[in-house]
Amino acid sequence: MWAALLRRGGRGAGGLRGLASGGPSWSQVVSEAEKIVGYPTSFMSLRCLLSDELSNIAMQVRKLVGTKHPLLDTARQRSLAEITELIHTAFLVHRGIVNIGELKSCDGPLKDMQFGNKMAVLSGDFLLANACTSLAQLQNTKVVELISSAIGDLVQGIYYENSKSSEENCLTDDISISRWKEQVFLSHSALLAKSCQAAMELAKHSAEIQDVAFQYGKHMSMSHKLHSDLQPFVKESSSDTMAFSLNSAPAVLHQEFLGREAWIKQIREAQGKGNIVDYKKLREAIKAGKGVTSAIDLCRCHGNRALAALERFPPSEARAALANIVCTVTRFS
């Protein structure tokens, strides 16, 4: 959807809004953006999958591939958006694979878990194969190069996420926030950033505009990831016992301020019998430090950089929608 909005022109947006408090929710701004794009953004939409009319239109448009009909330009944007979401979904499915060795009897029968793993691998591979086939049909070598490199980034990023810490039985990695950002770019930001750049390439924009689109996608996704990491610490309705990643941005920043040894000590103090972590105790320790406020500041920093990239595009409804999305993920009050 982001890539589709970047390509779309129009009038009547005015200047970009700042990162002020208040405003619509995430679902509201996405809904408004979908109206501008003109279709539901998710290829998993049941309405789309079950619509005979839409399927017939799609089949007819596919016949234009290889021709110079002007409608093909619009079809190729749509195709790029679906390719991006196919890749994203494929990797989400692959992430659903569970470690059989860590399962407990209460998790369910072993044979069911093994079957689930097989389905996750096959389903993810199927989606990825379809994405690669559609990518080749765009017949643009630069776009193929960009999206292919994004797939490589995703694989590398997931490898980093799943790699074990050198310290035995350690629940958290010894990384700096700069290293955290490098890993998040690979596993979360690269696909969106390079898809936005690819959209500009398909629209035949200059290399400068392509880089601006890349910067928007990169910083938008970074702020979105930071917003997600912050939810267990800022959301009032979150459960005190709710688990959170000890490699999330607030925890990594907390470790930077506190020091590795002191952070490990806090984790061990929060572990009870059977090495069960008391997340309420850890959450309070992180909130008492500078990790949460620093993560909020970093989220807003990336949001401002995304808005700065949008300023390079002419005012339009699409630009306003993209700005509203940024403002939503950088609002914490």
Q: What is the pLDDT of residues 9-27, one digit of tens each?
A: 433 334 564 554 567 787 7
Interior angle at CA 213, CA 131 and CA 210, nearest 5: 85
131-142 pLDDT, tens digit per residue, is 888 888 888 999
Q: Which amino acid is at 313?
A: F
Residue 257 pLDDT: 94
186 to each of 174, 178, 181, 246, 297, how far by Cα in Å?
A: 18, 13, 9, 19, 22
* pLDDT band at residue 51 under the 50/70/90 scheme: very low
Residue 141 pLDDT: 92
* pLDDT band at residue 43 under the 50/70/90 scheme: very low
Is residue 246 within 8 A of residue 256, CB to CB? The reply is: no
Which range (151-155, 166-170, 194-198) has the least confidence?
166-170
316 to each of 9, 10, 64, 311, how far by Cα in Å?
A: 6, 5, 29, 11
Residue 150 pLDDT: 93
Closest CA to 231 of 216, 249, 217, 219: 249
278-297 pLDDT, tens digit per residue, is 889 999 999 999 999 999 99
Asked whether residue 54 carries a pLDDT value surpassing 50, the answer given is no
Is residue 223 within 8 A of residue 26, CB to CB? The reply is: no
- Average pLDDT estimate for 243-272: 91
Handedness of CA 31, 32, 35, 41 (dihedral sign): negative
Asked whether residue 57 carries a pLDDT value surpassing 90, the answer given is no
54 or 294: whose pLDDT is higher? 294
* pLDDT band at residue 50 under the 50/70/90 scheme: very low
Asked whether residue 190 carries a pLDDT value surpassing 90, the answer given is yes
- Average pLDDT estimate for 191-196: 92
Phi-psi region of 14 (alpha: psi -120 to 50; beta: other; left: phi over 0): left
Is residue 36 within 8 A of residue 4, CB to CB? The reply is: no
Tokens 């941005």, residue located: 249
Asked whether residue 62 carries a pLDDT value surpassing 70, the answer given is no
Is residue 332 within 8 A of residue 234, CB to CB? The reply is: yes
Is residue 16 within 8 A of residue 323, CB to CB? The reply is: yes
Phi then psi dihedrals of residue 244, to 5 deg: -140, 160
87-146 pLDDT, tens digit per residue, is 888 887 777 777 776 666 666 677 777 777 787 788 778 888 888 888 888 889 999 999
| DSSP assignments along 73-128, one per residue | HHHHHHHHHHHHHHHHHHHHHHTT---GGG--GGG--HHHHHHHHHHHHHHHHHHH
Residue 179 pLDDT: 93
Asked whether residue 218 carries a pLDDT value surpassing 60, the answer given is yes
Residue 159 pLDDT: 82
Is residue 254 within 8 A of residue 290, CB to CB? The reply is: yes
Instruction: Identify the helix (H) or strand (E) that includes residue 303.
Output: helix 291-310
Residue 152 pLDDT: 92
Which range (35-39, 194-198, 215-219) has the least confidence?
35-39
Asked whether residue 187 carries a pLDDT value surpassing 80, the answer given is yes
Residue 161 pLDDT: 75
Which range (171-185, 199-213, 215-229, 269-283) has the least confidence?
269-283
* pTM, to two decimals: 0.78
58 to each of 218, 235, 256, how far by Cα in Å?
A: 30, 42, 51
162 or 70: whose pLDDT is higher? 162
Paired with 271 in beta bridges are 277
Residue 167 pLDDT: 45
Handedness of CA 310, 314, 318, 321 (dihedral sign): positive
- Average pLDDT estimate for 78-92: 80
Residue 4 pLDDT: 62
- CA-to-CA distance for 218 and 77, rounded, in angstroms? 19
Which range (26-40, 50-64, 283-297) has the least confidence?
50-64
- Average pLDDT estimate for 222-243: 83
Instruction: Give the end-to-end CA distance of the chain in Å, rounded to a whole number.
Output: 26
